[in-house]
Amino acid sequence: MAPKSTKPKDFKEDFWKSKDIKISIGDIVQDEVSGESGEPVEMGPTPKPHVTDLREWDMKLMDRYEPFYAPFCDMCCLCTYGKCDLTAGKKGACGIDIKAQQARMVLLACCIGAAAHSAHARHLLEHLIEKKGKDFPIDLGMNIDIEAPIIRTLIGKAPKTLGDLREAMDYMEEQNLHLLSACHTGQEGSSVDFESKALHAGLMDNLGKEIGDIAQIVALDMPKGDENAPLVEMGMGTVDRDKPIVLCIGHNVSSGAGVIDYVEEEGLEDNVEVCGICCAAIDITRYNQHAKVIGPISKQLKFIRSGVADVIVVDEQCIRTDVLEEAKKNQAKVIATTDKMCLGLPNLTDEDADKIVAQLINNQIEGALILDPDKVGEVATKVAMQIADDRGMLKLLPDMDEIQEMAKECTECGWCTRVCPNSIPMMEAVMGASEGDFSKMEALYDNDVCYTCGRCEQECERDIPIMSMMAKIGENKLKEQRFNMRAGRGPIQDVEIRKVGAPIVLGDIPGVIAFVGCTNYPEGAQDVAKMAKEFLERNYIVVTSGCGAMTVGEYRDEEGNTLYEKYSGDFDAKGLVNVGSCVSNAHIPGACIKIANIFAKKPLEGNFEEISDYILNRVGACGVAWGAYSQKAAAIATGINRWGIPVVLGPHGTKYRRLYLGRTDKEETWQLNDMRSGNVVNGEPAPEHLLYAAENREEATVEIAKLCIRPNDTSKGRQLKLNHYIDLHKKYFGTIPEDVYKFVRVQKDIPITYKKDVMDILEEKGWEPRAIPQEPSIRDFKEEPKKKANGK
């Protein structure tokens, strides 16, 4: 039950003469301002929306985009009545059916993902308030007046200081608690209501990320929407192996910043290398561009096995849980730095730094849990400097001759290939190595075709150290493993939104494509970079974050340039914009929200439904999580979907159990309310899906172009978008898409290049022109419509 509002009691005029009166002053409410005018605005209908406050919007989305379930498991094992078989219409002991169970697991995944980002944000926020003070101002620079668009929309006010972010944190944590409770046995029983709650969890994930990134941008002086953020070095070949090396893995920048601070304070910049894997790498290079990026999450086991890192600093999220075991194999030291991942290590936070160093270098302890980022910096640096020389004398990987002999132990049982998530030909690569041909293993190493999960090694009946063999073979190409990436810039500037708002909404810029998420790619990392390159060449705006941003940077064109070198960091046509780490993802829907606010003058405060409806029908944006694997990625995509932005997943994305698919055969679901004319009009499947899984890069590329089509496109904009859709379909499948007639409203929509072909299809389908809505919406009219679709 949502809290009830309270009204002040009526007191007599002389109430002040009464005894024992206590006066309590709560929050002081001030007029909020939205937009660039600075004028006070009226609060919208849903400030701080509770779990059910946006339920009607969710139902509208699901009426159009029905949840499609692909059970990854058709059993339920959550309580002691189980296991319960839910196949063939059977129900569990609690009464739950398979649809509700799949939706419950989706909600649980989204709750876990939202909790990971939110807990990260809370930890970071409190740490930075402790260092900078709660009154430290939120200043994102001269070109950003609409800071925190998600907070403004959901909370109903703009944060002015770090301390102000606590209100949004408190709200989000409360919502997450209610959502997780719905997963308990004997709670929710409806699949669509589980989905509504999952959408709310995704929205809370968006909010948590925005809080976390704004806090670290302002307090750690990271780039503030800088389109010219510096290029930073990336790749295993960028690290100087002759120096002591501290490796940071995870997502929370606090400990990595502590290492960098200590190195700078002691004047050791030329003596110690600080590098990172996963989002920790992105954020330490936003903090200091001299840090190095090793690469995305898929580089973890390769780099740890290589033995290059002397000290491994881990914080939270997406870290191999056997990192301590792997580090012990090559005598590297591990420092855990958060309560999320303690690894069974002794808590030495309150111990003297030099005593901790002594215990580590004398092998009295395997590692340490240190919850003070400043102390982490001192200990990690001192330990790395003291053990680097001795570790440099260790033989950490087998020689090439030894690899050949190890490979000869292979019995060709084929289990290494069978257990591989992508069924890559690992056995063939091992057999090739046994004959002295290492090219097949090199091919799997390159571009992260092999994710290095290590399953093959665990399954091998001959205990062949396949991952160590691959790490050694990869060393032969170290010189080639040098790339770069533009440092994460953070939010999109208001001035950029003013420039591109109209072209995006009208369709002159064909779309905004965001490549985000993890690296569980079906056929290696190059697919992501090739998709990004395809859309950049076609004048789309391409945005990246997290592992997706690093993956794009690992590709070089025919001239040897990375895409970050070839394209500018402007949020404009042909711009390649790296917003930053996973928490920086929030700036992607944030840009769409700002288009509604700055270009269309839609108020933000408490106005979620109107903003989302505007984005769904007018902003041609599409997310791509080609290698999504984690619960965080599930929450990210689901939150994006609630704003009305479609997302394309790779084939592994089906393991999330649920997609949101439109039905083009149900024409009534695509009807639109034209808010300006008051009429109901026939629409088109635009966007056709909210959450779609493609089997390969070719299918994904075509689908992304189609998912950028919007009802609000002008005929000029629709021509442009259909031209790309048709051209890509012909490029990859050799034909004009059969459904092109569904997206032609009037003949002016038809691309000139393909006019004859399209007209033939229109004639075959018995096509008739239809009205173009002036203000398309799926929201209800305040009054009865003047005219229904088909003239009724």
pLDDT tens figures, 568-599: 999 999 999 999 999 999 999 999 999 999 99
The C-alpha R_g of the chain, in whole angstroms, comes to 27
Residue ranges of alpha helices (H) inside 511-628 are: 526-537, 546-553, 563-566, 587-594, 608-618
Find the length of the chain.
792
Secondary structure tally for the chain: helices H, strands E:
27, 21
Q: Answer whether 721's CB lies under 8 Å from 507's CB.
A: yes
63: CB partners within 8 A, 6+ apart:
669
Q: Are strands 231-234 and 483-486 parallel, antiparallel or unpaired?
A: antiparallel
pLDDT tens across 511-529, in order? 999 999 899 999 999 999 9
Please give the mean pLDDT across all residues of the chain: 93
pLDDT tens across 638-679, in order? 999 999 999 999 999 999 999 999 999 999 999 999 999 999
Q: Look up the pTM and report it.
A: 0.93
Q: Bridge partners of 311?
A: 246, 333
The token pair that represents 349 in the structure block: 């936070």
The token pair that represents 294 in the structure block: 């090793």
The pLDDT score that the predictor gives to residue 392 is: 80
Q: Is 37 a residue whose pLDDT tops 60? A: no
Q: Number of C-alpha atoms within 13 angstroms, CB side, residue 3?
A: 8
Q: Answer whether 107's CB lies under 8 Å from 76's CB.
A: no
Closest CA to 253 of 204, 291, 295: 291
Q: Is 417 a residue whose pLDDT tops 70? A: yes
d(CA 584, CA 587): 6
Question: Positive or negative, the Cα torsion across 168, 172, 175, 181?
Answer: negative
Average of per-residue pLDDT across 462-487: 89
d(CA 302, CA 783): 62
Please give the CATH topology (third level) of the domain spanning 232-392: Rossmann fold (3.40.50)
Q: Is 14 a residue whose pLDDT tops 60? A: no
Average of per-residue pLDDT across 416-438: 94
Q: Bridge partners of 693?
A: 649
The pLDDT score that the predictor gives to residue 277 is: 97
Closest CA to 683 of 695, 667, 697: 667
Residue ranges of alpha helices (H) inside 230-372 are: 253-265, 279-287, 300-306, 323-329, 353-361
Displacement of CA 228 from its chain's centroid (Å): 22
Closest CA to 247 of 388, 421, 350: 388
The pLDDT score that the predictor gives to residue 72 is: 85
> How far apart, in Å, do the first and last CA atoms of the chain sit?
41
Give the number of other CB atoms < 10 A from CB of residue 226: 17
The pLDDT score that the predictor gives to residue 1 is: 42
Cβ-count burial of 134 within 10 angstroms (0-12 exposed, 13-18 middle, 19+ buried)?
Answer: middle
The token pair that represents 258 in the structure block: 């502590």
Average of per-residue pLDDT across 778-782: 92
Tracing tokens 């009946």 back to the chain, one arrives at: 461
DSSP 8-state symbol, 658: E
Q: Considering only residues 467 and 5, tell me which one the structure prediction assigns the higher pLDDT.
A: 467
DSSP 8-state symbol, 598: I
Q: Is 8 a residue whose pLDDT tops 50? A: no
DSSP 8-state symbol, 691: E
Using CA atoms of 535, 536, 542, 544 in order, give the dihedral in degrees to the nearest 10.
100
Q: Are strands 311-314 and 292-295 parallel, antiparallel or unpaired?
A: unpaired
pLDDT tens across 345-404, in order? 999 999 999 999 999 999 999 999 999 999 999 999 999 999 999 888 787 889 999 999
Q: Is 567 a residue whose pLDDT tops 90? A: yes
Q: Name the maximum alpha-carbon separation found in the chain.
A: 100
SS3 content of the chain, % helix, strand, coil (to 5): 45, 10, 40
Q: Number of C-alpha atoms within 13 angstroms, CB side, residue 531?
A: 33
Query: pLDDT grade, residue 38 (50/70/90)?
Result: low
Distances (CA, A) of 4 to 48, 174, 426: 14, 16, 61
d(CA 315, CA 380): 13
Share of the chain above pLDDT 90, in %: 88
Q: Considering only residues 42 and 378, tell me which one the structure prediction assigns the higher pLDDT.
A: 378
Q: Concatenate the DSSP letters of all residues of 443-472 into one string.
A: HHHGGGSS----HHHHH-TT---HHHHHHH
Single-letter amino acid, residue 170: D
pLDDT tens across 147-182, in order? 999 999 999 999 999 999 999 999 999 999 999 999
131: CB partners within 8 A, 6+ apart:
219
Q: Is 41 a residue whose pLDDT tops 80? A: no
The pLDDT score that the predictor gives to residue 28 is: 40
Closest CA to 632 of 54, 258, 109, 56: 109
Using CA atoms of 499, 511, 614, 106 in order, give the dihedral in degrees to the nearest 10.
-130
Query: What angle in degrees, to the nearest 10, is found between the helix axes of 253-265 and 98-132?
Result: 30
Phi, psi of 630, rounded to the nearest 5 degrees: -95, 170
453: CB partners within 8 A, 6+ apart:
301, 421
Reported for 386-395, long-range contacts at CB under 8 A and 24+ positions apart, including other chains, are 386/357, 386/361, 387/244, 387/310, 387/311, 387/331, 387/333, 387/361, 388/243, 388/244, 388/245, 388/310, 391/307, 391/310, 391/330, 391/331, 391/332, 392/242, 394/307, 394/330, 394/331
Q: Answer whether 307's CB lies under 8 Å from 332's CB.
A: yes
69: helix, strand or coil? strand
Q: Concatenate the DSSP letters of all residues of 207-256 into one string.
A: HHHHHHHHHHHHHTT--SS-TTPPEEEESGGGS-TTS-EEEEESS-HHHH
Closest CA to 396 of 321, 505, 472, 500: 472
d(CA 532, CA 544): 9
Q: Is 11 a residue whose pLDDT tops 60? A: no
Phi, psi of 248, rounded to the nearest 5 degrees: -105, 130
Residue burial 227-248, b: 16+ Cβ < 10 Å; e: rest? bebebbbbbbbbbeeebbbbbb
Displacement of CA 241 from its chain's centroid (Å): 32
Cβ-count burial of 116 within 10 angstroms (0-12 exposed, 13-18 middle, 19+ buried)?
Answer: buried
pLDDT tens across 277-305, in order? 999 999 999 999 999 999 999 999 999 99
The token pair that represents 616 in the structure block: 């769904």
pLDDT tens across 360-376, in order? 999 999 999 999 999 99
176: helix, strand or coil? helix
The pLDDT score that the predictor gives to residue 27 is: 42
Closest CA to 35 of 501, 619, 646, 555: 501
Give the number of other CB atoms < 10 A from CB of residue 174: 14
Domain residue ranges of the chain, discontinuous segments joined by +: 39-219, 232-392, 408-464
d(CA 511, CA 425): 37
Q: Answer whether 687's CB lies under 8 Å from 622's CB.
A: yes
Displacement of CA 562 from its chain's centroid (Å): 22
d(CA 378, CA 356): 10
Please give the CATH topology (third level) of the domain spanning 39-219: Substrate Binding Domain Of Dnak; Chain:A; Domain 2 (1.20.1270)
The pLDDT score that the predictor gives to residue 163 is: 98
Cβ-count burial of 12 within 10 angstroms (0-12 exposed, 13-18 middle, 19+ buried)?
Answer: exposed
Average of per-residue pLDDT across 736-755: 97
Q: Answer whether 734's CB lies under 8 Å from 567's CB.
A: no
The pLDDT score that the predictor gives to residue 39 is: 61
Q: Is 77 a residue whose pLDDT tops 80? A: yes
Plot region of 335 (φ>0 → left; ψ -120 to 50 → alpha; else → beta) = beta
The token pair that represents 218 in the structure block: 């302002």
Closest CA to 549 of 163, 363, 273, 279: 279
Single-letter amino acid, residue 620: G
